[in-house]
Amino acid sequence: MVDKIKIDVVSDVVCPWCIIGYKRLEKAISELGIEDKIELEWQPFELNPLMPEEGENVREHIAKKYGASPEDQKQSQERLSQFGEELGFNFYYFEDMKIVNTRDAHVLLDYANEQGKQTELNMRLIESYFSERKDVSDREVLEKALKEVGLNADEAMKRLDDDDARYKVASQENYWQSLGVSSVPTMVFDRKSALTGAQPVEVYKQVLTELLEQE
C-alpha cells in the first residue's frame, strides 16, 4: 500500500501563476491516475499584506512594484490568458482591475480546510477574482463564495473578526517564509522538496513519479 504524497501549495488567491501552477499539477496527477494517492493542502501567502482596504489599480501596482511597462504587462496578461485557456481557466483582465488585500480570504480558507472544502473555496475565490471581476476582499463576495461551495457562511464569517483565527494565518505565513518560501506558487512535496513557479506538467509528473517510486 502506497502512502499518500502530501503536497502543500503555498499561494495567494490573487496570484495568476498560482492557478496556472495548480492546474498543471492537477493535470499531472490526473494523467498519472494517482488522485487517490495525493493529499493536498493550500498554505497562505499574501503577495501584498500591507495592501489598504481600497486596494490599488493592477497596472499602477505592478509598475511600481516590479517596474513593468504597460506593454510588458499587456504581453504578460496575454500569455497568462493563453496558458489559462489551455488549462480550462479564463483570465478576464480589465482596465480598472485592482489588487486587493487577501487576509480575510486566507482566514476563510483555513476554515474551509477544517471542513474538507479548502480546494473548492480556493478555486471559487480565484474564479471570482480573475474570471468574474469580483473584489475578493469584499465580505459580501466572500460570504457568497462560502455559500456557493456549501459551507456554513454564518459560522465562517465570524472567523474574520476572531483575533486568534487571524493570528493563525499570520503564523502560517511566517512559518513558510522562515523555510525560505519567498515567491508563489511554491509546491512542497512531503515537506522534503519543493518546486517554485508554475512548472510544466511533465516536471510535476517526473517529481510525483519519483516520489511514488521512493514510497
Where residue 181 sits, what CATH number does that domain have?
Answer: 3.40.30.10
Q: Give the pLDDT score at 2.
A: 53
- Quote the pLDDT of residue 59: 94
Q: Which of 157, 204, 28 shows the shortest CA–CA distance to 196?
A: 204
Query: What pLDDT, on a 0 to 100 scale, did the predictor assign at position 120?
Result: 98
Question: Which pLDDT belongs to residue 1?
Answer: 43
User: Which candidate, 72, 62, 68, 142, places its Cα nearest to that of 105?
Assistant: 142
Provide, for the chain, the percentages of residues in helix, strand and coil under a 3-state DSSP scheme, each rounded to the nearest 5.
55, 10, 30
Cell (9 digits) for 176: 513558510
State the residue range of the domain holding 111.
Answer: 5-214
Nearest-angstrom CA–CA distance, 84 and 44: 22
Burial state string for 159-188 with b = 16 or more CB within 10 A and e = fewer than 16: bbeeeebbebbeebbeebeeeebeebbbbb
Tally of structural domains, the chain: 1
Rounded to the nearest 5 degrees, what angle is found at the Cα of 22, between the Cα atoms of 176 and 57?
80
Nearest to 115 by CA among 155, 67, 164: 155
Alpha carbon distance 186, 199 (integer Å) = 10
Q: Can you tell me the distance from the alpha carbon of 145 to that of 151, in angstroms, rounded to the nearest whole number? A: 9
Mention every residue, 6+ apart, whose C-beta is less than 8 A from residue 19.
84, 89, 126, 130
Is residue 188 helix, strand or coil?
strand
Give the long-range contacts of residues 55-60, CB within 8 A, separation 24 or more: 55/98, 55/99, 55/100, 55/101, 55/135, 55/137, 56/98, 56/99, 57/96, 57/97, 57/98, 57/99, 58/93, 58/97, 58/98, 58/99
Cell numbers that stand for 67 in this block: 517596474
**What pLDDT, on a 0 to 100 scale, did the predictor assign at position 3?**
82
Q: Report yes or no on whether pTM surpasses 0.85.
A: yes
Q: What is the mean pLDDT of each run of 10 residues along the chain (215 residues)?
A: 86 98 98 97 96 94 94 96 98 95 98 98 98 98 98 98 98 97 97 97 98 88
Do the Cβ atoms of 137 and 102 come closer than 8 Å?
A: yes
Q: Closest by alpha carbon to 68, among 58, 81, 55, 54?
A: 58
- Nearest CA to 198 among 83, 119, 93? 83
Identify the DSSP state of 100.
-
